[in-house]
Amino acid sequence: MAGSRLIIIGVSGPSSSGKSTLGRLLHHVLPKSFILYEDDFYKPEEQIPIVNGELDWDCPEAIDFVMLRSAVDYVRTNHCLQDGLYSKEDKNALGKPPVTLEEADEIKKQIVGQNSEVDEIKFCIVDGFLLFIDEELTSKLDVKLLLRAPYESLKARREARNGYATLEGFWQDPPGYFEKIVWPGYVKAHKHLFVNGDMNGDLTEAAKAQDIRTASAIDLHMSDLLRWALKTISQEVNKP
């Protein structure tokens, strides 16, 4: 096992909520960090469930959670990603970042200050839209950040995307995919985390007991989300 301290950060939220942008900004400001993408654990296309006549890439059954949990365990033990773990996610463009790297560095300086300990810790940032529906996986994460945004904003963002790299090539959403597949699937998988299943409401006591932290990706600018994330991470760093 590596000698340095390791903190595993889960960054989750619905499709197009800004989780990958936040994850990449955290990767930039935390010098000894690396990213593990849930999307690299999709099952082969022939195993993806079909819903309403369309491939459903947004359901839990599309992800190989056994392999994902194993990858997180490997990170916990070895403080690095598995050799040969190929990621296709860098092929997926996120558009112009709402926060420049220079601004991100300044935000880190404001939040973390001269805490050199942060720069010596290894951080694994786990990026995925289903991180908190699998209790075993959730329990393996030290910091749990959940972004939220209203339906219409998420729909507009998702539909503005050109598509996604997959193991087999490239995927583009067919018409109506967000309202028929993406959003209903996200709600079904996550409603147990919210009081009365209200996706814009409060977290349940059970979700709070798992130390899941949530913030609005619409009410807050990405710079504010980065501050929130760094403050939460700093709390974990400063635990006795």
Is 39 one of the catalytic residues?
Answer: yes
Would you call 12 helix, strand, or coil by DSSP?
strand
Catalytic residue among 39, 56, 58, 173: 39
**Nearest-angstrom CA–CA distance, 139 and 75:** 14
> Of 199, 164, 172, 184, nearest to 59 (Cα)?
184
For tokens 């009081």, the residue is 195
Under 8 Å between Cβ of 162 and 173: no
DSSP-derived pairing of the beta strands 54-55 and 50-51: antiparallel
By CB atoms closer than 10 A (0-12, 13-18, 19+), residue 151 is: middle
Question: What residues act catalytically?
Answer: 39
